[in-house]
Amino acid sequence: MEAGRRMAEDTMFFARPTPLSIADIVALTGATAPPGTDLGRIITGAATPDVAGPSEICFADKSRFVRVASTTRAGAIICRARDATVFPSSTVALVARDPGRAFTLILSRLYPQSLLPRSVTGETGISPQAIVAAGARIEDGAIVEAGAVVGESAEIGAGTVIAPHAVIAPHVKIGRNCLVGAGCTIQFAFIGDRVLIHPGVRIGQDGFGYIGGRSGHIKVPQIGRVIVQDDVEIGAGTTIDRGAVRDTVIGQGTKIDNQVQIGHNVRIGRHCLLAGQVGVAGSATIEDFVVIGGQSGINGHITIGAGAQIAGVSAVYVDVPPGARWAGAPARPVQQWLRARAREMKLGLEHHGSRSRSSEAASGAGEPG
């Protein structure tokens, strides 16, 4: 393990962080240090509890992490008050209400470059190997890397990075301080500021719409757009179809995981979370602060109310009220789903028991008396 750790340190992808003192960490996170702690003690990095060294910080907020961390060599750990006495005396136990959030703030301060768009090639400005239409408007400070294509009348704001082989179609507008990852295609779309679009994302292609008939399927023209508001993040391999007539909209601050499919005319509100492999069918509406677990399917033309939570691997066919928690296929309120699962398990056990008894009886009937 130590050899692997040394190899990883020799090939760091991020610059070594500016050290933080325990006092800096307390001020940043609001955590509480034990009485008598040396607040000037320096932390130079972060790691998991099992490999963290004396100058690194880790966190533990769940029982299994606390067990691992009980023998940590870390210089400091972010934890809950109930666990503060579990760790070695050499580790400073910093108590926080939400250890995960506190640790995230620390990581952001130690490794700020991990959150920012970066050039793949190290180029600045427009690469001579990029193809940029004469009528495109690119603000000073934007980066268009080798192999990228920017169409006629497209606009790209300052601080935005267009990575290699990304294609920005004509008339697309991309705001400031965005990242468009390698191999992305963006068309028929307006993108806000500080939007992170990871590699391989497809935005603005045709929605899936056909009118069936005996002579074959007639393609429905898709004449809408995609509107992505500020501070959105879109994971690798995700596809967002443009609207058929109305626009497809992704609201401010929403975070979308990898390999998510969003159909035409979908409206997603502000600050939603969609986990990997979620599929949202056309014309669905997802209101603000909704959370959808991985591999769930959302039917078309329904509404998921503000603040609702959908468990992973659910199939949602009907409207979900605001603030509700649903699960299952078909999805229903969590308590109903849990009761149904309990009944199914009980029936399964009873069926298995009755088959076992029948087999025993049949076996006994065949034995000589």
Instruction: Give yes or no for a contact between 244 and 233, defined as CB atoms under 8 angstroms apart.
Output: no
As beta bridge partners, residue 158 has none
Write out the two tokens for 334.
Answer: 């969590």
CA dihedral 23, 25, 31, 34 (to 10 degrees): -40
Instruction: Give yes or no for a contact between 59 and 75, defined as CB atoms under 8 angstroms apart.
Output: no
Clarify whether 264 is annotated catalytic: yes
Q: How far apart are alpha carbons 25 and 153 in whole angstroms?
A: 47
End-to-end alpha-carbon separation of the chain, Å? 65
Instruction: Give yes or no for a contact between 28 and 21, defined as CB atoms under 8 angstroms apart.
Output: no
Q: How far apart are alpha carbons 85 and 339 in whole angstroms?
A: 39
Burial class (CB in 10 A: 0-12, 13-18, 19+), 243: buried
How far lies 368's CA from each of 115, 221, 359, 362, 365, in Å? 77, 77, 16, 12, 8
Calculate ∠ Cα 188-192-193, nearest 5°.
145
Q: How far apart are alpha carbons 194 and 119 in whole angstroms?
A: 15
Q: How far apart are alpha carbons 155 and 189 in whole angstroms?
A: 11
The residue whose two tokens read 């699962």 is 341
Name the pairing type of β-strands 273-274 and 332-333: unpaired
**Longest CA pairwise span in the chain (Å):** 98
Query: Which member of 217, 264, 271, 301 is catalytic?
Result: 264
Which residues are catalytic, by number? Answer: 264
